[in-house]
Amino acid sequence: MPASKQWAFPESLQPKVGETQFDLARALDAVVLVRSEIPEDGFTADVLGTERSGYGVVIAASGLVLTIGYLITEASQVWLTTNRGAVVAGYPLAYDQATGFGLIHPLGKLDAPHLERGLASDVRIGDSAFVIGHGGLGHALKTRLVDKREFAGYWEYALDEALFTAPAHPQWGGAALLDAQGDLIGIGSLLVEEEVNGESIHVNMFVPIDLLNPILDSMLKTGRSPHPPRPWLGLYAQEQKGRLVVGFLVAGSPAERAGIRVGDVVLGVGDDRSNSLADLFRAIWRVGPAGVEVPLSLARAGSVVRVAVKSVDRNDLLKKPSLQ
């Protein structure tokens, strides 16, 4: 688990002091441990758990911490731990579902430096990079960018271009991805499987920091993205042999209420075919903002079934943070 300091990468995989183009010690200290507690009746508790831990990156002199949003979604308590041993309570300030970014405001002095933001768009496939977790040099990894491509997650999430790095590590949620100059270019999301040169390998997916710049001011002021909330159906589909198969329905979700079943094959939105998860999600989002009725075409038992799903704003289902 990220909270443990017992494990460490082999020294051959760690960045070396004096061999980087940036202040490595400062970069290490800018990454904090994030621990959160979520009420048992939280909407995401069953899937994501009630105790979550990962990392966050200090991105401003004020101590503002950027992390991956699933760590703090519905959190009733958040704690930040620095490499120097300080433990500070945090407030889950904002979560943007479109990008996956989350912001934490420390409720005390966070004695940690901050990282400057770079541009993921300036980094090329094959370039060297560094992933930094909390816990010092033993939790830092020399890596490289193996791909930049579209990514879609079954939880109704899609990025036009995500970053993929190797070698991989299973616990990089909220970790910092730095370019060769030590600037922050991505935030760790999850472990996925990728085909590189005909070989299937595990890689880490990072959300590009470029997506933060257009929404940061709004997130700080309102706690939400400036974009209209997207329609959410609660339909978790998977790509199987060129088909989009419903693998899971969120209990009580719009998709379940509309009569969609596990095992249905999603053909598309209306008469427009969807060839991938990303195609499907974008077609749904193009219908309108949250609350719009989404017409889906399904294949079931050899027949085409058409259903109208009254979407909702997923944010309305989540518990909101409160200051006590």
Question: What is the CATH classification number for the domain harbouring 262?
Answer: 2.30.42.10
Radius of gyration of the chain measured on its C-alpha atoms: 20
Q: What pLDDT sits at residue 18?
A: 86
CA dist 260 and 171 (Å) reads 34
Q: Are residues 74 and 213 in the same domain?
A: yes
Judge if the upstream peptide bond of residue 167 is cis by omega within 30 degrees of 0.
yes
CA dist 160 and 146 (Å) reads 16
Query: Cα dist. 63→12, 66, 82, 89, 186 in Å?
Result: 32, 10, 11, 12, 18
Residue 324 covered by a domain: no
Given a contact cutoff of 8 angstroms between Cβ atoms, the answer to whether 310 and 234 are in contact is no
Residue 322 covered by a domain: no
Q: Are residues 60 and 169 in the same domain?
A: yes
Q: Are residues 239 and 198 in the same domain?
A: no
Q: Are residues 77 and 183 in the same domain?
A: yes
pLDDT greater than 90 at residue 228: no
pLDDT confidence tier of residue 1, bands split at 50, 70 and 90: very low
pLDDT confidence tier of residue 199, bands split at 50, 70 and 90: confident
Per-residue pLDDT reduced to its tens digit, 276-314: 999 999 999 999 999 999 999 999 999 999 999 999 999
Q: Are residues 156 and 243 in the same domain?
A: no
Q: What pLDDT sits at residue 211?
A: 97
Share of the chain above pLDDT 90, in %: 89
Q: Specify the higher pLDDT residue, 126 or 2.
A: 126
DSSP 117: B
Place of tokens 């990303």: 278
Q: Which residue range is the domain that position 301 belongs to?
A: 231-317
Tokens of 119: 């541009």
